[in-house]
Structure formats: structure tokens, C-alpha cells
Amino acid sequence: MGLTGMQVILISVLAYLYMLDRYSTQFFNKVPLLWGFLTGLILGDAHNGLIVGAQLQLMSLGVANLGGSSMPDYTIASIISVAVSITTGKGTAAGLAIGLPVGMLAMNIDILIKLLNSGIARRAKTLADEKKFGQMRCLIPVSTFIFGLEGMVPVALAVAFGKPVVESVLNFMPTWFTVGLNVAGGLLPAIGMAMLLAYMPMNKYGYWIIIGFTLAAFLKMPVLGVALFGIAAAVHLFKSESSKNAMVAQTGVSTEGDMEDE
């Protein structure tokens, strides 16, 4: 069976709401299982929606866009995969064949929107410096509105026209454009990590970053191993600091002050 016009609209709105939640309220965030289930409800087959959404949920485990980096949007892929799987009756494989390319398309749109919103943020800052607060308040919601289009546009294209349109959009992009997107996508994680480190007590605990980098880059320790090592280190430091604070509370003498006096 094909999608009705109302179903296309509802699924596109669902993708828009997902993006708004992802970049604002974050009540449900990136949970392919949930959004696949909701897509199934719209199409009258919640059971199939759960099955396909669960498979995309497993595919997304361990994948995160940290520090502003971009990755294939498995939630968008879940919405599309469920829609295709239910409407064509050809199972999960057919849904994934279309859903995953749409997730890749959403990744490229994600980079473009982040670059565009950087310009909007700079303009808002300029208006604030010029004390044009009314114009600034009108401009800021534009960013939120644009973020919603990141999911709505590729989903609407996919559910309305199918895989050929999605692949045509990806193939239409010239090489210089896709290379530029890859360069921008590579810079964003470094910028995000630098911003994160700026708020961390690097003078006191910065050496732990060197240890973690050494474990991952030179000793080839898996991410889970590095994370477990970090948890153990954090627990040790927490207990050590708690013991020092308890000693200070009992004696009224700071160990750091004693060391400075010596």
C-alpha cells in the first residue's frame, strides 16, 4: 500500500518534532525505537514499528556526535525504514535500504545547518551589542525553526518520492561541496573538544587526558576499556578528596596549607 497525503504530512511533522526535541527540550532525544514506534502508530502497525526501530536502536549503540561532530541520523533512518517497511510489505531490509541513505543525507544537512546557525548567532550577538534587543529576540527563534527542517526535509522527500530521489540528491552534490562538508565536519569535533576543555580544571587533572590518549592511540585500548579506566580513576580521586575534606573538617587544618607553609 502507498502512503496517503495525510500520512506523509504526519510523518514529516513527526520528524520535525524529533529535531525540535533533540535541540531543545530533549525529552526523548535520539531513541530510534521510540520514534519508529510512533511512525508505526501513524501507519497502523505499531508492532512492525517496534521491530524496525529496535534494529536501528542496536545499530546506533556506541555512536555519538560528541563535540559538535555529525553522524548518520539513525532516528531519521528509523522513521523512514518503518514507513517503507510497512507500506511496501517487503520487510526490514527494504526499509533499511532507503532509511540509511536518508540518515546520511540528514548528516550533510546537519553540517549545513550548524554553519548557518553560527552566522545567526553572530548576528544576534551584534544586535545585542547594538542594544537592539527586540530584533535579537526575533532572530534567535529562527535557529530553532531551522533545526526542525533538518529532519523534516529529508523525511518528506523520502516518504513522498522514495529512494531514487534521496540518492539523486546525494549524487548531485559536487565533489568540492562534499569535500568541504567533510572538512567542516572534521573541524567541528576539534572545536567542540577545545570548548569543553576550556571549562575543565586542566591545571589540576589535565594529565589524565594524556593518559587516556596514550591508552587509545598507542596501546590500542578499546573505548570501553578507556572509559572503565576513567571511571576507576574518578572513583579513586573522589575518595581521596573526600578523605582530605573529612580530615580538614575534623582537625580544622588544611593539608594544602601545611604543604605551602613547608
When pLDDT is cut at 50, 70 and 90, the band that residue 185 belongs to is low
- pLDDT tens-digit series, residues 227-248: 999 999 999 888 888 888 888 7
Q: At 190, is the secondary structure helix, strand, or coil?
A: helix
CB of 86 closer than 8 Å to CB of 40: yes
- pLDDT tens-digit series, residues 37-94: 999 999 888 998 888 888 888 777 766 666 555 667 888 888 888 887 887 776 676 6
pLDDT(9) > 80: yes
Strand ranges in 62-220 using DSSP code E only, listed in sequence order: none
Q: Buried b / exposed e across 150-180, counting CB within 10 Å, b at 16+?
A: bbbbbbbbbbeeebebbeebeeeeeeeeeee
pTM: 0.59
User: What is the Cα–Cα distance from 45 to 246, expressed in whole angstroms?
Assistant: 59
Name the residue with higher pLDDT: 140 or 199: 140
Residue type for 242, please?
A: S
Summary mean pLDDT of the chain: 79
User: What is the Cα–Cα distance from 134 to 127, expressed in whole angstroms?
Assistant: 9
Strand ranges in the chain using DSSP code E only, listed in sequence order: none
The pLDDT, as a whole number, for residue 232 is 93
